[in-house]
Structure 1
Amino acid sequence: MRSCTMREHENVDLELLLQSLVDYAIFMLDSGGHVLSWNSGAQRIKGYTAGQIIGRHFSVFYPADDVVSGKPGRGLEIAVAEGRFEDEGWRVREDGTRFWANVVITALRDGDGRLRGFGKVTRDLSERRNVERALDERGRLLAHLVRAQEAERRRIAWDVHDDTIQSMVAVGMRLQLLASTLPAEHADAVTRLNDTVNAAVGRLRNLAFYLHPPGLDSGGLVETLSGYLEQVASGAGLAYDLVPDLDEEPPPEAAITVFRICQEALTNVRKHARASSVRVRLASADHGVHVKVADDGVGFADPGDASARREHFGLIEMRERAEISGGWWQLHSRPGEGSTVEFWVPAVRPGLR
């Protein structure tokens, strides 16, 4: 019995390898584009058996409009000229259904440089494309939700500023006028009432500013956050530092999400941290925005402990905003060492995922 040569062993091993790669359609074409070989992955992805497809022109895998436009032939021409051709697009299975494919065509030449045919590898990317389309749809829904929320905040802020505050200012003016006409024993009570109205007006102005800070519609993320940080820090006697390291302005929904989480984090610093300084750092990372809001305040005994959180519903709101956008959120803190709110949100425009 004749023993197998090394070359025969290599051929057997190569055939075993090709037939085992069921996730890839790997086959050869002659120089005219006709199918010469067929592996199990090609049968699984395209639906043809070897007996059905060998000898047929590979244009059968393309939609009719691509065939009419000459796309299959152009792919071979580019492969001949450049050595390889890569493409993504619709391809057609044996049963007529379409799938989204990545295709690589490689020109095969012998030792003298003569074209002997082509090697073709096809991957079915339908699942990946469906996921990407779902992410795009999720992104559009998120953008719609963020815009709707901001429109409602803007409407409430305008109502508070143009209606409620103006009415209370008018009441305060009438109280001042009334106090000036009353005896001292009654004027003092009216004056105290006027002071209460003025304090309420101040709180309402802060609420309107919180709901819709100036510049949120027209300014960029860094500009808007800088203005808000200056307003909050100066009012609370905080030293502050904003460190922007962004490659580009994030999409509007991402910018608003970042701003709102920072806004809540700064509110917690002002109300609870008893800090003397706060630093906000923005950085582009992993196709998103990575943010740290760090203070030098009293910190938490255990940020994960519900008793330490007490009524800090803002922490839950920050986490939910980040996670709804497809990102993450964390709180780092130790007693006497301050706290750091850290989060990341994606900043990829729809269609580029």
Structure 2
Amino acid sequence: MTREPRPQKWARKQAAPLSETAFTLLVQGVLDYGIFMLDPQGYIISWNAGAERIKGYEAADILGQHFSVFYPPEDQSSGKPQWELETAVAEGRLEDEGWRVRQDGSRFWANVVITALWDEKGVLQGFGKVTRDMSERRAAQQALSERRRLFDHLVQAQETERRRIAWDVHDDSIQAMVAVAMRLELLADRVPEAHSAELRRLDATVREAIGRLRSLTFRLHPPGIDRHGLVEGLASHLDDVVRSSWGMDYSFDHQLDRAPTPETAITIFRIVQEALLNVHKHARGSRVDVRVTSADGGLLTRVVDDGTGEPMSVDGAREHFGVIEMRERAETAGGWWSMHSRPGTGTTVEFWVPNPLPLPASEPKDGTP
């Protein structure tokens, strides 16, 4: 097999070439990579210490065998080894990741590069093959994917439970209390004035409780986040709650490279929601600024108020349930959370969570057939 020889470029002609002996020692001594050569038909003609460590064969046991011995039976029967050599010849090189087989029959996940080697006349002399054991990296990636699946299930389960509680409170507790308020109002009009005032005070107390429960159901399951995503959900919450209900000014800035997954969006929304609630309850401020931006493969969020700063200090709020919930949500998602404030300058809640691509519906299994 021949082809036109490729021109060679020498960046530093004055540098002394590496001696053949030194180069052989370099290749033979590498332990992290299996480096060996194949003849033009795919038979093994050299073997280094890294190949022995990764694949388990000593040189005397493997030299002269066809390299297809490293492939699982399903790849051998499909002709994958020969296809890889043909592709390397046609394109100059081939890179692949997949299962390979050690001498003891166990499998490992390998990154493989096959390079076609030509002499100065364009005649194929064989192939250089470099193999790296990627089993640990793949296991780590699978563990990360599994953690993400568990996180997604946890977020979905939490939101389902919040929705159920919100519906139960709205359809049961609130309706029952509304009926009680109506009865108290009717009774207040029918009893003597001496008792009417007390009944009206009870009616007012019940109606205040109804208002608090309705606020609770809204916090448990605010409309918009499920259907419209993070940006519209936050914008709606800021307008409906911060401005309309609490009478505070706000700004909302967002610069997202791409929309987050539903679970990531819910996590960010819940942390911002809790931070805003703390601002309303403790900060005694008049304005809050929310900013969400893409950063470092995730989403960085800041909630800044112009309040007193003191009630939101870390020392005073370390064990506050809302603070604990915000931190745990961020850390469970694989991110971080922080809060810092100074008296008279307000408080900043800042957190980052990863924004991974959606998980595929299914992933390849990692066992033997």
Q: TM-score range by the shorter chain?
A: over 0.9
The answer to whether the 8 A contact 1:136-1:351 is kept is no
Secondary structure in 1 matching 2:122: coil
Structure 1 position 326 matched with structure 2 position 300: no
Residue 154 of structure 1, CA deviation: 0.7
Q: Deviations over 1:7-64 (max 9, x none)?
A: 6x62222122212220100111111111111110000000111111111111111111
Of residues 253, 261, 277, the one that matches 2:287 is 277
Q: Which amino acid is the alignment partner of residue 157 of structure 2?
A: A
> CA offsets per residue over residues 56-81 of structure 1, 9 Å max, x none?
11111111111111111111111111
The within-5 A match list for 1:110-121 is 110-121=119-130
2:8 aligns with none
Identify unmatched segments of 5+ residues in structure 1: 1-5
Q: Gaps (5+ residues) in structure 2? A: 1-15, 364-369
Q: Secondary structure at the match of 2:162?
A: helix
Q: Distance in 2 between matches of 1:28 and 1:280?
A: 59
Taking the TM superposition and a 5 Å limit, the aligned residue runs for 1:1-353 are 10-234=19-243, 235-300=245-310, 303-305=313-315, 308-309=316-317, 312-348=320-356, 349-351=358-360
Take 1:85 and 1:29, find their aligned partners in 2: how far apart are those partners?
Answer: 14
* Residue type at the aligned position of 2:260: P
Which 10-residue stretch deviates more, 225-234 or 48-57?
A: 225-234
CA 1:101–1:31 in structure 2 vs 1: closer, same or farther (change >3 Å)?
A: same
Question: 1: distance between equivalents of 2:285 and 2:319?
Answer: 19
Cα 1:113–1:300 shift into 2, 3 Å: farther
Moved more, 217-226 or 67-76: 217-226
Output the TM-score relative to the length of structure 1: 0.93
Q: Deviations over 1:273-314 (max 9, x none)?
A: 112211111122333222111112211499442xx2266321
Q: Determine the structure 2 residue equivalent to 1:3.
A: none
Partners of 1:24 and 1:212 in 2: CA distance: 54
Check the 8 A contact 2:27/2:48 in 1, yes or no.
Answer: yes
Contact 2:314/2:340 (<8 A) preserved = no
RMSD, aligned α-carbons: 1.9
Contact kept in structure 1, 2:299 and 2:354, CA below 8 Å = yes
CA deviations 1:295-350 (Å, max 9, x no partner) are 12211499442xx2266321111111111111111112222221111111122233
- The CA distance in 1 between the partners of 2:311 and 2:178, in whole Å, is 44
Query: Secondary structure of 1:218's partner?
Result: helix
Mapped to 1, the partners of 2:195 and 2:105 lie a distance apart of: 91
Q: Which moved more, 1:95-104 or 1:179-188?
A: 179-188
Amino acid at match of 1:156: I
- Give 1:283's aligned amino acid: T
